[in-house]
Amino acid sequence: MKISALLTGRGNNSLKDKNILPVLGRPLCQYPAMAAKECELITDFYVSSDDEKILSAAEEVGYKRIVRPAELASPTAQHVDAIVHALGVMKDDGCEPDILVVLLANNAITKTEWIRESIMNLIDNPGLSASCPVMLELDRHPYRSKRLREDGCLDTWFDFHGRQISTNRQDLPLNYVLCHNFWSLRLLNSIYGKEEGQAPWRFMGNYVKPVIVKESFDVHDMDDIYRTEKWLKSEGMFW
């Protein structure tokens, strides 16, 4: 079974050059890249980007470059299209993985052990389509969320049909949110699968095994850079 990693990141961001901003002396994108490099189950490493700085930073830690077309690097471009493009380039390079670990360049809160666990989930259960980190989130439970009606007032997202919903978060069904740091995909059941997956990440398929973690966050502003450095120091994660 061939297992490959694909680091993804584009250069056109609201925070300029966020994917290569220095974090404890390294470009941000090198942290998820190195977390995958430390996983002995992965044998091939690629980076997809339209940005020369991201491509060069990933090459420094052993990733082969895939130059992403401009139309797949716009703010409105879909991530899945960039993944499919990369898989085509990888195939031309002689690499056709069974499992693809897609890493997001703007999230350094990624541990090798999480990547390994997600891969083993897919190896141990061939029926799964994907495995990825999630966090338990009850404060922002969907039952407690509101939408805005046309009259300008708040309303529920769900029709509860007269059911009594507790205002106490501990009484609500467990709610998990995707961390958006990496996804491990069994390609036959996800990207290449015939069954339509769950919205909005339909490319992950319908059988997604969670890796439950306590914390993860993307970088969107400089405060997130400082939070990332604090987390890395607390975890002793230096390469």
Q: For residues 169 and 48, what is the distance between their CA atoms, to the nearest angstrom?
A: 40
State the greatest distance between any 2 C-alpha atoms of the chain, in Å, as a whole number: 59
What's the pLDDT at 80?
Answer: 96
Q: Peptide bond preceding 97: is omega within 30 degrees of 0, i.e. cis? A: no
Residues 142-179 pLDDT 10s = 999 999 999 999 999 999 888 899 999 999 999 999 99
- pTM > 0.85: yes
Residues 18-43 pLDDT 10s = 999 999 999 999 999 999 999 999 99
Which residues in the chain come in under a pLDDT of 70? 238-239
How many angstroms separate the Cα of 170 from the Cα of each of 121, 139, 174?
28, 9, 9
What's the pLDDT at 198?
Answer: 94
Phi/psi for 92 (5° steps) reads -65, -25
227 and 216 Cβ atoms separated by less than 8 Å:
no
Q: Which domains does the chain have, with CATH numbers?
A: 3-133+178-235 (3.90.550.10), 138-174 (no CATH)
What HEC string does the chain produce? CCEEEEEECCCCCCCCCHHHCEECCEECCHHHHHHHHCCCCCCEEEEEECCHHHHHHHHCCCCEEEECCHHHCCCCCCHHHHHHHHHHHHHHCCCCCCEEEEEECCCCCCCHHHHHHHHHHHHHCCCCCEEEEEEECCCCCHHHCEEECCCCCEEECCCCCCCCCCCCHHHCCCCEEECCCEEEEECCCCCCCCCCCCCCCHHHCCCEEEEECCCCCCCCCHHHHHHHHHHHHHHCCCC
